[in-house]
Amino acid sequence: MTIHLYNTLLREKQIFEPIDAGNVRMYVCGPTVYDYAHIGNARPVVCFDVLYRLLRHVYGESHVTYVRNITDIDDKIMAAAEKTGESIESITARTAGWYHDDMAALGALPPDREPRATEFVPQMVKLIEQLIAKGFAYEAEKHVLFNVPAMQDYGQLSKRSLDDMIAGARVDVAPYKKHPADFTLWKPSAENQVGWPSPWGRGRPGWHIECSAMSGEILGQVFDIHAGGIDLIFPHHENEIAQSRCAHGSAVMAKYWLHNGFVQVNGQKMSKSLGNFFTVHELLEEGFRGEAIRLALLSAHYRQPIDITREGIQDAKAQLDRFYRALAMVSDLAVEAAPTDHVLAAIADDLNTPLALSELHELVTKLNKATSQAEKKVAKAALLGGAKLLGILWQDPAKWLQSGGSADDAAVIEAQIAARLAARKAKNFAEADRIRDDLAARGILLEDSSSGTTWRRA
């Protein structure tokens, strides 16, 4: 199976060729933990989870290393700590826990390694020392800055020239910078702020250096895939590349750079600064299922912008209902899940999840139409195989269809169904329909079939 991925570095789709097929290495920029994750934060997690699943499928589960960091030191965290008086450790432990819970609810596999910035400060210091030694960084007023003009081909990822950046500069340039584009590697901390000792005094790392340090340490100086949101192309990823390549003297940092499009609300970017976001946590609290949120996120191609709405999640839930209804009909058939070539090819073609999903729908139709056990087994195996790559349909069908909603006890519902059955046998259809309507009013839908009556929640 040939995997094609759109590489931001070249702005084109490329055949994916791992550096070492025995250990395919991917790094995804993780969250800064100071608050609940919003849907926009969840998108790269879900999209690149599909990539992780694909790579594991193609190269084998033990031949892929997925690293996703946690940024647990940052000015926003410090600001939150100062505001509430809660310690940084306490804030990051709590919010990282929320993050784990929410991403698990979305069916995202945990990464193989989840390094935290605070655990890698010595490596960051070492990297900065190397950059200074090689003339790519300089110290100024207790800061250490990356010397952008020293790098010949800076700007490859974002396709920006130094001139462009000066022309478009919207920021006040700090007086100690030699060049406006120079960025911070290390900055001083005040006495009351967290800090680490360094050759340049007590301080803390700049934003970009942690990813260079952690990816270099865990995945090596050059690895396969680096991914994140489209807004990270500049400056974050551009600067990571500058740091890592200049420190290591390597031609590339990662071979393939992948970027997911934005989650939007009414056609506008969802972001904390705009205040138009909703969190995964609050959607789960409202009763939306994590799997439905996941499917909503996967219903558009990962590089396209996507408008996430409650209606959209509801639509995704309806699709899952269709899948689970079909699976519930064949729950007694044991199969070995294996994706069809079509589904696999769709996902391998730069993660075309909407196309894969449409294939899954056709498999459901096939499954519903199947008359022989053999046909049903083939369709079920294919459906589950594709679903596994997408990270959906992992639940027990009956549980999916019957859980959630009101607190009606299953035994009570079964009793009602029995009463209705008796009424039907006695041809008392008025009573039978009354029971059915009564249940429907409570969100319980009945379905009669030759094999009996089943129920599900609306």
CA distance 111 to 52: 9
Residue 275 Cβ, how far from RNA at the closest point, in Å? 12
- Cβ closest to RNA, residue 46 vs residue 55: 46
Residues 96 to 135 in contact with RNA, rule: CB under 7 A: none
Residue 362 Cβ, how far from RNA at the closest point, in Å? 6
- Cβ closest to RNA, residue 62 vs residue 331: 331
- Cβ closest to RNA, residue 18 vs residue 256: 256
Residues 336 to 355 in contact with RNA, rule: CB under 7 A: 349, 352, 354-355
Residues 36 to 75 in contact with RNA, rule: CB under 7 A: 40-41, 43-44
Of the candidates 126, 248, 269, 388, which one interacts with RNA according to CB under 7 A?
Answer: 269
- Residue 320 is given by DSSP the state H
Residues 20 to 39 in contact with RNA, rule: CB under 7 A: 29, 31-32
Q: Which residues pair with 306 in a beta bridge?
A: 263
Of the candidates 193, 299, 335, 395, which one interacts with RNA according to CB under 7 A?
Answer: 299
**Contacts of 349 by beta carbon, 8 Å cutoff, 6+ apart:** 4, 355
Of the candidates 11, 61, 406, 451, which one interacts with RNA according to CB under 7 A?
Answer: 11
**Total H helices, total E strands in the chain:** 16, 15
CA distance 212 to 216: 6
Q: Which residues pair with 307 in a beta bridge?
A: 264
262 lines the binding site for RNA (CB under 7 A): yes
Of the candidates 142, 271, 284, 335, which one interacts with RNA according to CB under 7 A?
Answer: 271
Token pair belonging to 3:
């995997």
Query: Binding segment for RNA among 51-59, 61-69, 137-145, 227-235 (CB under 7 A)?
Result: 227-235
Token pair belonging to 225:
């895939």
Of the candidates 301, 317, 376, 380, which one interacts with RNA according to CB under 7 A?
Answer: 301
- Cβ closest to RNA, residue 18 vs residue 364: 364
- Cβ closest to RNA, residue 18 vs residue 302: 302
371 lines the binding site for RNA (CB under 7 A): no
- Cβ closest to RNA, residue 18 vs residue 416: 416
Residue 406 Cβ, how far from RNA at the closest point, in Å? 17
270 lines the binding site for RNA (CB under 7 A): yes
Residue 178 Cβ, how far from RNA at the closest point, in Å? 16
**Contacts of 401 by beta carbon, 8 Å cutoff, 6+ apart:** 321, 324, 325, 328, 456, 457
Query: Binding segment for RNA among 98-106, 139-147, 303-311, 395-403 (CB under 7 A)?
Result: 303-311
Binding mask of the shown chain, residues 417 to 456, with x at each position contacting RNA by CB under 7 A: -------x----x--xx--x--------xxxxx-------
391 lines the binding site for RNA (CB under 7 A): no
- Cβ closest to RNA, residue 23 vs residue 299: 299
Of the candidates 118, 212, 244, 319, which one interacts with RNA according to CB under 7 A?
Answer: 319
Binding mask of the shown chain, residues 231 to 260, with x at each position contacting RNA by CB under 7 A: xxxxxx-----------------------x
Of the candidates 15, 61, 152, 168, which one interacts with RNA according to CB under 7 A?
Answer: 168
Of the candidates 195, 220, 305, 404, which one interacts with RNA according to CB under 7 A?
Answer: 305
Residue 346 Cβ, how far from RNA at the closest point, in Å? 7
Residues 183 to 222 in contact with RNA, rule: CB under 7 A: 207
